[in-house]
Each structure stands twice: as structure tokens, then as C-alpha cells.
A = this chain, B = another copy of it.
Amino acid sequence: MAQDSPLARKLSAFIRLSEPELTVLTGLHRRRRSFRAGGDLVHQGQADSSAYILASGWVASYKLLPDGTRQIVDFHIPGDFLGLRSILFRTADHNIEAVTNIEVSEVQANDLLSAFSTSPRLATAVLWAASRDEAMVVEHLVGIGRRSAFERTAHLLLELGARLKLVGLASTAGYACPLSQYMLADALGLSAVHINRVLRELREEGLLTFQRGRVIFGDFDRLVARVGYDKAYLDHDGPLLRETTLA
């Protein structure tokens, strides 16, 4: 069932996909591959890398700095497209690493392009998803630049919850989160030690618990208010302006 794939689920939240469109989508899921936790799907400087659709598990994309530290740019969850940009460019400019064991569908550039031309609405939907990803990166930039450690941490955890809910992997109560505190630190531009203190504070205030691979919301509304979370950047206010595509 194509409509059971996380990608179909996510895109459906935004455009109603027809039966033939779902079939095209399924067609992209032919080359199944898996990676072990810690494995690299793409690394900086790699030439001719392919794109992937993440079917299960979590992934992080990051950049390494000369001094050995790294900055995680985004996490990816089932239904996300990985490395769309590396189809456009000769060499990848960042790394993509499996956080957990994962299942992906490898997508050849040509297959993707032909899928887009047979189904322009699908192209539009994927473009929408890509734009949403970009909006998320911008939001992270804003968070790291202008928000406190406490706010940033809460924002990230709230955002992940919202994204997971779209693909049915989170409830209002919470979700499974396989990230270590080190990874949170690398994503938020903080030290792991400080993340730990922030998480304690969140727990002590009864707002949210991050433990044993689970995020559990204590008082969702108070949390949202406390850190000024506004999910507008994820919503993108309904469907596209128009349903034509670049084609």
C-alpha cells in the first residue's frame, strides 16, 4: 500500500494524491537499502551521491568543522527526502548519517525526474516538502542565533513532535526519540553537559521528560507558552498557491 508509506502520508497532509500518483510514488520505492546505526549515507565531498527516501529510523545531516566539532543541521524522520540537493550538484557539501538502523529507498536522479514529469502534482508536493525543510533550517538558525538554550531545546523537541505526528509516529503524549544528549548538543550549538542541565530543568518544571529514548510531554500548553513556540513555519498555510509546476 503506497498510502501507508510515511512519505505518502506526509504529502497527503498537503495534497490529496490520486491513485495513479500513489502508484508513481510506489515506483520510487523499488531499490530498498538499509544502513546500520552510525553508518554514513553521504559524506562531504562525495561525488555523484543519490537521493533517498527514509522509510524507517532516524537520520542526521551535519557539517564537520576543521577543529573536529560538528554542527547537525537537521534530523530526518520517516517520510523525509534525503540529499535532494546532491542530485543537483556534483559533490555533496555535508554528511548524512544514520542515527538508528534505517531503511531507505534509493532514488536515481532519472527515476525522480521522470516521476516528476509524469506527475507534476507530485513534483509540486515534493517541492513543497523541500521548501518546508528549508524553512526548518531557517528556524534553527533563528533559534541558535537568538534564543536561549532552554528555549532552543524545547523548540527542537516540539518541532520533532509535530513532524512525527504528521507521519503517525507521535501522539499528544509524546514520542520515541533515539537521540543522545550529545546529538542534541551538536544540533543546538551547545555542550552536552549543558543540554543535560536544560533537560533536568524541563523535567523539574514538569514541562517535558526526555529519558530512555522517549519524549513525554508534561504540560504541553504551558511548554509552548513558556518558550514562545509558534508552529506557523511548519504549517505553511495550506496548499500551494497554484497547482502547476515548473514543467
Instruction: Find residues 117-157 in chain A having any chain B CB closer than 8 Å to their own CB.
Output: 117, 123, 127-128, 131, 134-135, 137-142, 144-147
Least CB distance, A26 to chain B, in whole angstroms: 20
| A59 within 8 A of partner (CB) | no
A145:B144 contact, CB within 8 angstroms: yes
Number of interface residues of A (CB under 8 A): 54
Instruction: Across the interface, name the chain B residue whose C-beta is closest to A62.
Output: B142
Contact of A237 among B90, B135, B189 (CB under 8 A): B90
Instruction: Across the interface, name the chain B residue whose C-beta is closest to A86.
Output: B241
A139 to B244, CA, bound (A): 32
Could you give, for residues 47-87 of chain A, a 1 whenever the CB lies within 8 Å of some chain B CB and a 0 otherwise?
01000000000000001011101110100000000000101
A196 to B177, CA, bound (A): 42
| A200 within 8 A of partner (CB) | no
B135:A134 contact, CB within 8 angstroms: no
Which residues of B are found within 8 Å of A232, using beta-carbon distances? Answer: 93
| A88 within 8 A of partner (CB) | yes
A70 to B134, CA, bound (A): 19
A233 to B85, CA, bound (A): 13
- Check A241/B142 contact, CB under 8 A, given A117-B247, A123-B246: no
Which residues of B are found within 8 Å of A105, using beta-carbon distances? Answer: none
| A236 within 8 A of partner (CB) | yes
Least CB distance, A49 to chain B, in whole angstroms: 10
A90:B241 contact, CB within 8 angstroms: yes
- Check A146/B69 contact, CB under 8 A, given A88-B127, A89-B240: yes
| A5 within 8 A of partner (CB) | no
| A94 within 8 A of partner (CB) | yes
Could you give, for residues 216-243 of chain A, a 1 whenever the CB lies within 8 Å of some chain B CB and a 0 otherwise?
0000000000001010110011111110
Interface residues of A (CB under 8 A from B): 48, 63, 65-67, 69-71, 73, 85, 87-91, 93-94, 109, 113, 116-117, 123, 127-128, 131, 134-135, 137-142, 144-147, 188-189, 228, 230, 232-233, 236-242, 244-247
